[in-house]
Chain A
């Protein structure tokens, strides 16, 4: 399931121009960078205040934000990885992709509107609203920065390997280019530039994948039935039904919870809700995002099966064990090397956009949560805050490049799962309890966040994903591949017990007046 597997790409029996410099793909990618840097230049002139830098002046419409959310969420790993999983394992790939979608309705029902009404720039604003600022801000930024770092490593290593395979460019050069370009977006254009990069990327990815499916389906007379028949005749009916993906139901539930509730705890996703004018627009953006992301996973399902039927399972696995090249091989098969170039550059653009979103949310956590509320105790001028945010952006840009280089060739497949697990265990429980539970206290929140993060980290090291797959031990100490079932449940329990042990009357009193803002939007940031 990792782009990292590309490193082990073996020579395959099929003709492909993959890995050679493709003029179309270089031209399109160059065009993308020029256009997005021009947008950054335009956005820079409009980015002066804190609200503009962090939240695009809260001027993004619900529909635009929905597209941008989809852009933030649809990574190259899900495009190439899920299509590849379907192409090599069949129906099991769909089960995996559904896990990434079902978190979105929960964001809608539980989080979106209160988050928009209560917060300003980061999700910690909501948790800290009626609790003591300093401890909450420190704990939340630990949760945020851990989630962002692991996600960032997976993306950067994926970027380097992908670009090496696609364009024949050196891994190191690719990592540095991605790092510099995305730092430019965030540093100069803040949230306005980042939002438009996400929107352009989402439109490119969705239209590219749609054209790919149409070209492929043309070979099957545009009949899904013909496609499935072809898969059935070549590989047997079992390919179209669940296979070995779920063997242990507890494993499935644990991963399912991580994907589902982790989505509701990803800092770069949560931050996007502050870019819209009000809770009504926040609501609309989740609906739009859910629609596009769902549509995208339906496309990857068809891309995977088309690749299996047209390119063939063996050649795909021959090029890369995880099947990550399936979508690209299919693109070349149905549209020639020019279309392959187009899809490859879309995949590159996808990575750039995702890392930009991650970096911006990391920088916000450092400047808004740590600098303003911890170092400056809540009193800071806007100029100073933006200056720190920009320094944090440069720092995170360098960190991303550094981590990308350090983790070259390492197995980082588990890091996306780990990022989701920490998001589900450290960020989500504290956020939800602060919104709905009157009795939630500062100590409860801090312990819940720290416990959730620490348990996720410890258990994943002891799990089969790291203990066996990375360290090469024969048997794992902790049985589940993803710890969320244990770590998230524990984070909730710890938060509840600690809060009950020492009630905080002041926080409980503030909860009542907070309701006016949560449910009516009275006093929320405009």
Chain B
């Protein structure tokens, strides 16, 4: 691959958009995950009583939230994989055609 060609691809709007989209999704998801986890720790630290609230006959808010975070972690990685497989990879394929 010649130097100019590399330069062209790197400067192309398609490539720049790819990188920008990738990091806006990644960083948004990262902050979401940090927010959920640290938020949970803060609720545990300052709002213990709220978490004791019963839900239904035998459950309480703490159990739902705790197990919910585990499921959330898995879902959010799933959403990322779905996005990357369908949108990111397609864009990469498109850009690679020009190489």
State the A residues within 8 Å of B (CB). Answer: 91, 94-95, 98-99, 101-102, 104-106, 108-110, 113, 224-226, 228-229, 232, 237-238, 240-242, 245-249, 252-253, 256, 260, 280, 283-284, 286-287, 290-291, 294, 297-298, 301, 436, 512-513, 515-516, 519-522
Contact = CB atoms under 8 A, between A and B. Distances in A.
B89 A229 contact: no
A228 B37 contact: no
A226 B56 CA distance: 12
6 contacts: A91-B62, A98-B37, A228-B63, A246-B41, A249-B41, A252-B41
Given A98-B69, A241-B51, A246 B44 contact: yes
B44 A516 contact: no
A294 B89 contact: no
A89 to B, nearest CB: 13
A297 B52 contact: no
Contacts of B95: 520
Contacts of A290: 73-74, 77
Interface string B45-70: 11010011000111110110011011
Nearest to A294: B70
A253 B38 CA distance: 7
A284 B81 contact: yes
A228 B51 contact: no
Contacts of B70: 98, 101, 294, 297-298
B62 A240 contact: yes
A294 B60 contact: no
Given A280-B89, A284-B81, A287-B77, A105 B10 contact: no
Interface of B: 1, 6, 9-10, 15, 18-19, 22-23, 25-27, 29-30, 33-34, 36-38, 40-42, 44-46, 48, 51-52, 56-60, 62-63, 66-67, 69-71, 73-74, 76-78, 80-81, 84-85, 89, 92, 95-96, 99
Contacts of A110: 26, 30
A113 B63 CA distance: 34
Determine chain B's interface SS by DSSP, over half rule.
helix
A252 B45 contact: yes
A252 B73 contact: no
Nearest to A244: B48
Nearest to B60: A240
Contacts of B29: 105, 109
A294 B67 CA distance: 9
Given A108-B80, A287-B81, A101 B73 contact: yes
Contacts of B71: 294
B66 A95 contact: yes
B59 A228 contact: yes
Contacts of A436: 23
Contacts of A95: 40-41, 44, 66
A241 B62 contact: yes
A512 B10 contact: yes
Given A105-B33, A298-B67, A515-B15, 14 more contacts: A98-B37, A102-B33, A102-B69, A105-B73, A109-B29, A237-B52, A241-B60, A253-B38, A260-B37, A280-B89, A290-B74, A297-B70, A519-B92, A520-B95
